[in-house]
Amino acid sequence: MMTRHTQVVTPLGELTVVADGDAVTGLYFPGHTYLPDAALFGERVETAGDGLLATASTQLTEYFSGHRKTFDIAVATHGDDFSEKVWAMLRQIPFGETTTYGALAGRLGNPHLAQRVGQAVGHNPVSIIIPCHRVVGADGALTGYAGGLERKRRLLELEEPAEITDSRLF
């Protein structure tokens, strides 16, 4: 199969979902900070004619509607060894939870790697499915998100446990 892409309409904007063969290889917001050259996305296809992209579209729609907490779709990332280790750790962060760049660096054996971890998180090619939005600053502040901080905030709110949402005054 060839590299191809489709557009998925979401509450946070139209996402570009890129696939190569039988795996999703990219998921990008409009204005994504590290957006690859669109020529690398291949032909634009309709989801109805592509089982993988149809499944990705369905799962993203379910996620945004609050009916999906995990994704079970094949993903291929093609990063260097360090990035692949970081992206594997991102996949382990449960829905509704967050961690910090420093905590991830500590899990890699060196808490001084937090900035390098941040670079790998920022270059995650399959945002949302590999949940890089679940990584926050050491003080809990929203920092760095290739799709924009407002989108990161909204993704975290979408995943927020009901008891926290219900306790808000506004």
Stated as kind and residue range, the H or E segment containing 135 is strand 135-136
Has 55 been annotated as catalytic? no
According to DSSP, residue 34 is labeled T
Query: Could you tell me the domains of the chain?
Result: 3-64 (3.30.160), 81-161 (1.10.10.10)
Per-residue confidence at 162, pLDDT binned at 50, 70, 90? low
- Separation CA 85–CA 57 (nearest Å): 26
Question: pLDDT tens across 62-86, in order?
Answer: 999 999 999 999 999 999 999 999 9
Say whether 63 sits in a helix, a strand or coil.
helix
| 11, 64 Cβ separation under 8 angstroms | yes
Query: For the whole prediction, is pTM greater than 0.75?
Result: yes
Indicate which residue of 132, 135, 136, 146 is catalytic. Answer: 132
